[in-house]
Structure 1
Amino acid sequence: MKAFVAKSTLFAAALFLTQGAALAGQQDFTIVNKTGYPLKHIFVSESKSNSWDEDVLGRDVLNDGEEFELSFGKSESTCKWDMKVAYDDGETAVWENLDLCKISKLTLKWNKNTGVTSALKE
């Protein structure tokens, strides 16, 4: 399993601040929740993996309007990742083959007319 550090926890934040650039990977990105609803889980795994890695939010929830920064270890070389988000009601959205070496921010939006969660890549 590829390791990554979520800066949402105090320990990870302290670790990132103390080691800074030593931990920074080219795949680091920010998730912005503009869905109108809290996100209960976010999973990020290497593309073509048969399972999801652990929930990067841990015990936290990403409320509407909040951002979450995800940092990878400097030694991580994989660029293609899949991401899955889950709402409180169990509904999910999945994106495959995200090139995190070229994406710095994903803004998630939910369309109430179509029921689809989209991701604007920056």
Structure 2
Amino acid sequence: MKKQIIIGGLAAMLLVVTACSSPAPANKTSTTTNTTTTSTSNTNKTNPPANSNNAAPANTNQTTNTSETKTDAQTAKQDFTLVNATGVEIHSLYITPHEAKDWQEDILGRDTLPSGESVDIKFHRNEKAAMWDLRVEDKDGNSIEWENLNLPEISKVTLHYKDGKAWADTE
């Protein structure tokens, strides 16, 4: 009887240890797409780029897509609201420090940002970079990039696309 209790206890502990030490399932997808890229610079009202092919509505490890309300002491100076006024649903959104060499992960994950809607972009409050690049992609992988956004000076970015031209208004 004692052996059965000991064996049962060991089996239960083994199950608990196995369950607690298993990594959470990762939500990673890898796709290869052809993209058309247009870059613009940040000013309070940017002019449309000279040529842009398709409406292409774009993480750093330190950004999150949340709608939580935080106090000023808890918010990062780079936090901003992104408004999609492109007329195209944004399927991927990337934000990275300007000096970074890659786009890192898609902030939207499995979500999308339909035209006419907005999302609050929250940064880790210890983030120090001021200049950031933003990239959006549509469902076909067409992309548009905005470079050198001075996020500590911006609270809202509204993306537009009309007649083959993309631009962003900042506030």
TM-score tier after normalising by the smaller chain length: 0.7 to 0.9
Q: TM-score, normalised by structure 2?
A: 0.61
Instruction: Report the Cα offset of residue 27 of structure 1.
Output: 0.4
Residue 59 (structure 1) aligns with:
110
- Please tell me whether the aligned partners of residues 2 and 76 of structure 1 are also in contact (alpha carbons under 8 angstroms): no
Flag the structure with larger Rg: 2
Residue 117 (structure 1) aligns with:
166
**RMSD, aligned α-carbons:** 1.5
Structure 1 residue runs of 5 or longer lacking an equivalent are 8-12
* 2:130 paired with 1:79: yes
Residue 101 (structure 1) aligns with:
152
List structure 1 runs of 4+ shifted beyond 6 angstroms: none
Q: Whose strand proportion is higher, 1 or 2?
A: 1
Instruction: Report the Cα offset of residue 69 of structure 1.
Output: 0.5
Distance in 1, Cα, partners of 2:74 & 2:109: 20
SS at match of 1:101: helix
Distance in 1, Cα, partners of 2:114 & 2:74: 26
SS at match of 1:39: coil
Instruction: Report the Cα offset of residue 2 of structure 1.
Output: 4.6
Structure 2 residue runs of 5 or longer lacking an equivalent are 1-59
